[in-house]
Structures are given as C-alpha cells and as structure tokens.
Structure 1
C-alpha cells in the first residue's frame, strides 16, 4: 500500500509542477525554457557569443525589443532570483536609468557578485554611498586641471612609448597586437591619473604586469557570477575550487598592489584622484578608510583602462575595413594640423595632437561614436527591481527580479537605427552640413556612456583620449590585419577581442 501511496504522491507533485510550469512558460517571451533549469542550457551553449545571442533573441521579438526568460524554474524562485527581463527599447532604458532611477539600483545580486572585486566603489554601490562618491568625482572631473593632467599623461605615453614601439615594428616588418598596446597605454594613463603611479607597462620590452594580468582575470571570473545562479559560485567559493579559486588568487595580487599605492600616497600626496579622495569624508563624516580608498581607486582604473582601449581596438578594426572612412579621418586631421601648425608635414609628426586640437576633430568623433554604437565597451548592464513596475512598452517586471538592458543590441535593431543599422556610417552622427557632431534626439538610443544620474563623468575625457590616440596612429601609419588573424569577441565585462588585434603597420604618405 505504501509504495502505491508514494507513487500517487509523486505523480500528484509532478502534475502540479507541470501545471505550474505550463503557466510560467506561457508568460515568457524569450528563449525556450525547460523544467527546473529554465533557459540555462541555452545560456551555457551560447556563453561564448552571449551578446549576439541576446541580440538575436531581441530581434526575434519584432518591434517589441523586450523579452522575458527564467533561469531557475522552481516555485518561489522563478519570479525573483531566476526571472530576467531583457530589453533594448530606448523608452524602457530611459525609464530604468532616469525616470524610475531609484527603483532600479545595482541591487543585492550584482553587489554580491562584484563585492570581492569592487567593494563599495562607485560602480558597485547605491544610495548615499554611491552619491557621495559621485558628487566628489563630479567636482574633480569638471576641473581644467584634470583635463590638463590627462593630456600630459596621454601625450607623453604616445610620444615616448607608443610611437617608438610602432616604429620598431615597421622597421622589422613585424605584426603587433594593437589591443594589447592600447590596454597598456590606457592602463599607464589611468594609473598615473588615479594614484600618480606609472606602471610603465607600455615600454619596448612589453613587460608582464602582475596587477594588470590579475585584474583582467578577476573581472572575467566575476562576470561568470552574474550569468549563473548565485548558489553555484558561492558553493565554488566555499569549496575553493574552479573559477572561484583562481579569482581569489588574483584578488590577493590586486589587493596588495592597491594597498601599496594607497600607502605611498599617504606619505606623499599629490594632485591625483586618490589624493583628492583622501581629503574627502564618507556619509558619516569620517575620512575614507584605506580599504574603501583602494576600491574607489580600483573602480576608476576599471572605468578608465578597459573602456577606451576596447573602443579604440574596434575602431581601428572598422577603419581597416572601411578605407573611405579612413581617408576622411586622415583628411580632417591634416586640415586641423595645417591650421594649427602650418604646412610643414614634419611638424605634424613631432608631437601628438594636444586636446585643443583634438577638440576640433568632428568626423573622428563621429567615427568613434559609430564604433561605440556597434561595439559598446560595456555591452550589457543589469539592474535589480525594488518594487513591481510596468515598463513604458507595457512589460510587467516583478519586484526582486533582474532587468538587463542590452546596449550591444540597441545598435543592431532596425526599429531603432533603421535599415542600415549594421553599417559603419559615421555620417549618421553629423549635421546635414557635415561640420558639427549631432547626438540622437532620443538620447537613450545611445547609452554607451550610460544615462541618467549615472552618466559617465569621464565621457569628454574619454573622447579626447581616444581622438588623441587614434590621430597619433592614423596620421603616421596605415594598418592591415595580420594574415590568418581572426577577430572574435571575448566573454568579459567589456567587449575585448578574444585573440587581440594583430596588425601590420605601414608608413603613411601624407597628401
């Protein structure tokens, strides 16, 4: 009798679960979900092309630009921890980033995943903790002294290091990994700007920097925490195995490097960002503690190093494949330098463009913006839903769930950017006369620099740094992809090229 009762009990439970799962699956509009594991199998299979997979799911919705999926199909979990709303609808993005900003913080899942790496830094905090860092940073980023400091670091690095390395590669007819060089360049610049310490990773020997390597691996391993249920990475962390074991080792290297930087600045304060934050106070009125200062500085390194170098890598790749755009960029640089330095071509090549000259490069800025439209440095962002809400397109989002807005997908939707959305066309960013840069009237069609209260403070500095580097390379060299090299996306927080960008440099004959 008991086996029969057990059988009926199991059958009843399975029937109830099947009915519940049917009701849940009927509401979802994203990839197919399976009992218990939801859409995790598809997420796992597509983990190496996650951004294109998300974009294809959004395109399949037609004009909706929003879908919902579930990664844990279990009662009580499915509508919260396992429930994801994925969107690239500009009105939804504006709602999330500006209109209902307080209802969409980073949230506990994001903060838990990133806490070991970023602590309570500006990119991993909400509320008052975030606000005081934002206000402090905003004051610093509006000062001309910071712009001048950035210009000094950038131009010195280009002139004394980047040009030397590229000239040597030309003489030896040797390919270089341009992405690696750009990462080293922006890393040296942002370290100098943030805590006055130049690691000199961009030098002829191209030395391996333990901090830079550990930081790369740590950001990659941290991203995995977001893609899978929290209990999986927490179990790995508890057992000290797999990706979590490697993450712990890398974090120890990062921690030591940052601790040394903070201690050095305490004994010898300067005008760098870290020194300025050391004079500020937290929400309780106390000076920031050393661990907090470490994480604040690390957050700025993350923002200033990866985003600009990754954007420049995709920019150079796109320019190589669009010679007509390259010709227009070089022509614009030549016109500006002709006005500022005269017609002596040798004077054009003696010094990198200063930031005032770079300000005048309108078409180049358009080409960089078009690059970021197609290949945003941060392709996806995640927000936690505090209270039940309805997005402008009518999508209901339950409290405790996650909203992902896909910046990568926005630029690939015909309903947003038109039939030519997949084309690299800088002209779409210019006025009809072609002499002024013109951002879209709907600002939330382009959120490569975020939007609303969290809009990137360093946006203008980033454009200036990218324009300085791009002009310094393109004015001297013509680039071609190394034979057999394939450009692929890497699974990371930022849109790295998986195998770098191996190119040959050829001396440019200026008109």
Structure 2
C-alpha cells in the first residue's frame, strides 16, 4: 500500500522539480546574450557543430552582438554551476581586454579550469601557472630575454638553419619541380632553433630527408586535445581520462612520448650544464630553497618549446599565404629587402643571397615587420585566451562577470570587428602598422586593439626575438623564391591551441629573378 502511494508522490515531486528547473532555465536563458543554449547541455551542441570553425563561429557571434562585442553563454545549463564553472563571458572589446589583462590583472589569473586542462601537458610552467610560481619563471626568463647573449645565440641558430638546411631543401624542390609543405618546414626550423636555445639540443628535424619526429607528432596531438578540454565541460574529459577511452586515451599515449623526450633533454643538461635557458633554471630554487625537480624543469622547458616553435612558424605560414595572394605587397617586400641589402652588402647581387640577413639588417626591414604584424592581426597564433574571475566584477562595457566564471577574449575576432579596425578590417593592409611617412613601424595607439603578443604583465617576453626570427626567415625565402600555391590545395584552420593550417601550406617554388632597378633603389 505504501509503495502504491509513493509512486504518485514521486511523480508529483519529479514534476515539481522539472517545472522548477524549466522556470529557472527560461529565466537564466533570457539573461544570456550569446548563441542559443539548451536545457541541461547549454551551448555544447553548438560547440560540437562548429568545432571545425570555432574561431569564425565565435567571431560571428560577437559581430551579431552589435556594438557590445561581448556575449555570455554556458556549457551546462544547471543551477549552481550554470553561473560559475560553466559560465563564459566572451569579448572582443579592447577596453574589456585591457581591463582583464592589465587593470584588474590580479582578478583574472589562468585559474583552475585552464590549469586543470593544461596540467598534464604543461604542468606548472610559465604558461600554466599563477602567483609566485609564475613570477619566479617570469623574472628568470626576463633576465635572459634582455641579454645580448641570447639574441646572438638566436642569430646563430636561425642563420645556420636557413643557410645549411632550409635553402638546400627548397633548392632541391625547385630543381625537381615538386611542391613542399611550407608549414611543415617552418615548424621543423623553429623547433630546431628553440630546442637549441632552450636546452642546447639540435634535433635536426629540418634535414633533407625530413625525418618523422615522434615528439612533434605527439606534442601536436596533446595540444589539440588540451584545447578541446577547455571548450567542453570538465566532467566529460575527466571521465574519459578516468576510463582511459576516447581522445583521453590518445592524450596519455602522446604525453608518454613527450615526457620521454623532455626527460632525455633534462638529463643531458644535468650532466653537462651550459648557458641555455634550461641550464639557467637549474640554478634556481623553489619557495622552500630546494633545487627545482626534474619534473618541474621538464615542464618549464616544454613551455618554452611551445612558445618558440608553434607561434612563429604558424605566423610565418599565414604570412606566406597572404603574400602569395597579394602580389603588390610581395613586390614591396622584395624591393625593401633588396634595398637594405644593397646598402649593407653593395651592388653585387650574388652577395645578397650568400647568407641570410643578419639581425642588424633585419631591424631595417620596416615594411616586412608591418606585414608580419598585419598577418598576426588577421591570424593570431593564439586566437583565443581564457581567464578565471576570482571575484565578481563589471567590465568597462557594463557586463557583469560572476566570480568563478571564465572570461574568454577572442584576439581573432578583434581583427574582424569594423568598430575596432574600420570598414576594411578584413583586408590585408601592412600600412596599418606604418607611420604616415611609411618609413617607421608604428603599432596602434590603442595597444589592446592588437594583443597577438598578449598584454599587461604577461606580455610575451620573446616578442622582439620572434619578430627578428620571422623577418630573417621571411626575407630568406622571398629573396630566393616566388611561391605559387598548389592547384586545388585548400587552406583551412585546424582545431588547435595555435592557429595551424589543417592541411599545411603546399607550394611550388620558382627562382626569384631580382630586377636590376631594385638593387639601386637604396
């Protein structure tokens, strides 16, 4: 009898709870300004549908928000967590970005959501830490990045890989009339360089036979899966990890390869210290006065490899793609490079192509730097970044940010906002970054319109070195070759932490015929 009476009672209770939930959900959904959210699953269906075009989808949502350039959404529509762990404020408003990165820096650390997603890959390295742990690494790295020694070391590595490896591979492709994947070559070049700078090891991935490197394949897989951890509710990837299934199974396999490679690098440096970045960190002590553990050193080094390998190579890949599609810009670049070399090496054009441009010559390539900056505006190496709100806050545009939620700022979307960059925001125009006279590099007065190198206390330490490396490589390629896209090859974005091209950048090369008048333009 009791059991019979319990059934209608339970049904009544369930109906009451369900009704209460839908009343809450309808009220909650009306407060959100972003794309449609669903009961229970929030915006997850939209994320899944748009996972292969996530950056353009976010930019489209922000444009549809009107002048606000900010919207709010949630990944799970549940009471308690709906406005906390699963709540996202997405913005491309420069004032909001400045507020998060500089004005209220202490209120917006990486936070537990980001750190949990990245911990397996990056540990407590500089890109995944906050507070004293981050500050110690920042100070040590800042000392190194301001030294002439590091600049000279970078110059040696870059010029050697260009002259002895890159040109040889590209010359062979010209002779055999075959296409190359330029993105792959650039990734190999920057990987060899950053490994040399970080722990004095030359993996020689940019070799004539283009050997497959297990570390880079595993590293790419791990970063791609890590980004997906960020976009979906944490309970999903944690459950997959616990059960050892799905992408998390692949993640663990990739991490083993990455850790083995980095362990070997750390062990080698412990036996034979040098003046590279890893050796510098080996001399540091933690908060308790103890030497940093091998595991900590491994993660610290891996963070620098991530920064030095992916960001510059990805930027250069998009740069060459844009230049191929803008012949007038290409000609201006070649004219500037030849003019600088004519002034530094004389009129004999054979001397222009004997060695890569040195860093002093690269400093004079103003239009080239502007073209690279314009590339980074349109195709930032890191398209979105995420911050955790420690306390309740209100952004400059009036958006209320609840404590415990996430603020996402879309660097990719900023470039596509007419309210920020004007009606021609989608056009590739290096002149945006030049003075009126055209002879000086001039970033926008509002520095938070362009945060490809981050902003505030976390501004990229390697910004100047990155520009110099990119200019050296870009000049080396443009001076020697004309790039032609492979017919039918589609350039698409890859779902990853950095803005890779999904299918690479396949190009044919022709020898560059330098015009005599370019040599005398200096």
Band the TM-score falls in, shorter-chain normalisation: over 0.9
> For 1:171 and 1:42, how far apart are their aligned partners in 2?
48
The Cα of 1:485 is off from its aligned counterpart by 0.3
The alignment status of 1:264 with 2:281, answered yes or no, reads: no
Per-residue Cα deviation, 1:87-112 (whole angstroms, up to 9, x for no partner): 01000000000000010000001111
The Cα of 1:483 is off from its aligned counterpart by 1.1
> For 2:513 and 2:286, how far apart are their aligned partners in 1?
55
> For 1:422 and 1:189, how far apart are their aligned partners in 2?
33
Residue 71 of structure 2 aligns to a residue in which SS? Answer: strand
The alignment status of 1:81 with 2:67, answered yes or no, reads: no
Q: Give the match for residue 390 of structure 1.
A: 394
Residue 68 of structure 2 aligns to a residue in which SS? Answer: coil
> For 2:202 and 2:222, how far apart are their aligned partners in 1?
21
The alignment status of 1:62 with 2:66, answered yes or no, reads: yes
* Equivalent of 2:16 in 12, 15, 25: 12
Q: Give the match for residue 366 of structure 1.
A: 370
> For 1:120 and 1:208, how far apart are their aligned partners in 2?
29
* Equivalent of 2:234 in 218, 222, 230: 230
Per-residue Cα deviation, 1:173-219 (whole angstroms, up to 9, x for no partner): 00000000000000000000100000000000000111111111111
Q: Number of matched residues?
A: 511
> CA RMSD, aligned part only?
0.7
The alignment status of 1:413 with 2:455, answered yes or no, reads: no
Q: Give the match for residue 123 of structure 2.
A: 119
Q: Is the 8 A contact 1:307 1:378 kept in 2?
A: yes
Residue 37 of structure 1 aligns to a residue in which SS? Answer: coil
> For 1:436 and 1:283, how far apart are their aligned partners in 2?
45
> For 2:347 and 2:289, how far apart are their aligned partners in 1?
57
Residue 350 of structure 1 aligns to a residue in which SS? Answer: coil
Residue 476 of structure 2 aligns to a residue in which SS? Answer: helix
Write the mapping of 1:459-498 to structure 2, written as runs, cut at 5 A: 459-498=463-502
The alignment status of 1:307 with 2:311, answered yes or no, reads: yes
Normalising by the residue count of structure 2, what TM-score does the alignment of the two structures yield? 0.97
Q: Give the match for residue 459 of structure 2.
A: 455
Q: Give the match for residue 333 of structure 2.
A: 329
Q: Give the match for residue 172 of structure 2.
A: 168
After superposing the two structures, state which structure 1 stretch, 259-268 or 155-164, moved more.
Answer: 259-268
* Equivalent of 1:32 in 33, 36, 39: 36
> For 1:281 and 1:469, how far apart are their aligned partners in 2?
37
Residue 190 of structure 2 aligns to a residue in which SS? Answer: helix
Gaps of 5+ in 1: none
Residue 179 of structure 1 aligns to a residue in which SS? Answer: helix
The alignment status of 1:211 with 2:252, answered yes or no, reads: no
> For 1:82 and 1:109, how far apart are their aligned partners in 2?
10
Residue 266 of structure 2 aligns to a residue in which SS? Answer: helix
The Cα of 1:244 is off from its aligned counterpart by 0.8
* Equivalent of 2:162 in 150, 158, 164: 158
> For 1:269 and 1:59, how far apart are their aligned partners in 2?
52
The Cα of 1:224 is off from its aligned counterpart by 1.2
Residue 205 of structure 2 aligns to a residue in which SS? Answer: coil
After superposing the two structures, state which structure 1 stretch, 227-236 or 493-502, moved more.
Answer: 227-236
> For 1:82 and 1:145, how far apart are their aligned partners in 2?
46
Residue 505 of structure 1 aligns to a residue in which SS? Answer: strand
Q: Give the match for residue 518 of structure 2.
A: none
* Equivalent of 1:425 in 429, 452, 476: 429
Residue 192 of structure 1 aligns to a residue in which SS? Answer: helix
Q: Is the 8 A contact 1:32 1:39 kept in 2?
A: yes
The Cα of 1:8 is off from its aligned counterpart by 2.3
The Cα of 1:286 is off from its aligned counterpart by 2.0
The Cα of 1:18 is off from its aligned counterpart by 1.0
Q: Give the match for residue 250 of structure 2.
A: 246
Residue 475 of structure 1 aligns to a residue in which SS? Answer: helix
> For 1:201 and 1:217, how far apart are their aligned partners in 2?
18
> For 2:128 and 2:499, how far apart are their aligned partners in 1?
19
> For 1:433 and 1:373, how far apart are their aligned partners in 2?
21
Q: Give the match for residue 274 of structure 1.
A: 278
Q: Give the match for residue 42 of structure 1.
A: 46
The alignment status of 1:506 with 2:510, answered yes or no, reads: yes
The Cα of 1:71 is off from its aligned counterpart by 1.1
> For 1:286 and 1:328, how far apart are their aligned partners in 2?
55
Q: Give the match for residue 377 of structure 1.
A: 381
The Cα of 1:287 is off from its aligned counterpart by 1.7
The Cα of 1:4 is off from its aligned counterpart by 3.1
The alignment status of 1:199 with 2:203, answered yes or no, reads: yes
The Cα of 1:282 is off from its aligned counterpart by 2.0
Per-residue Cα deviation, 1:103-141 (whole angstroms, up to 9, x for no partner): 000000111111110000000000000001000000000
Q: Is the 8 A contact 1:132 1:283 kept in 2?
A: no
The Cα of 1:283 is off from its aligned counterpart by 2.4
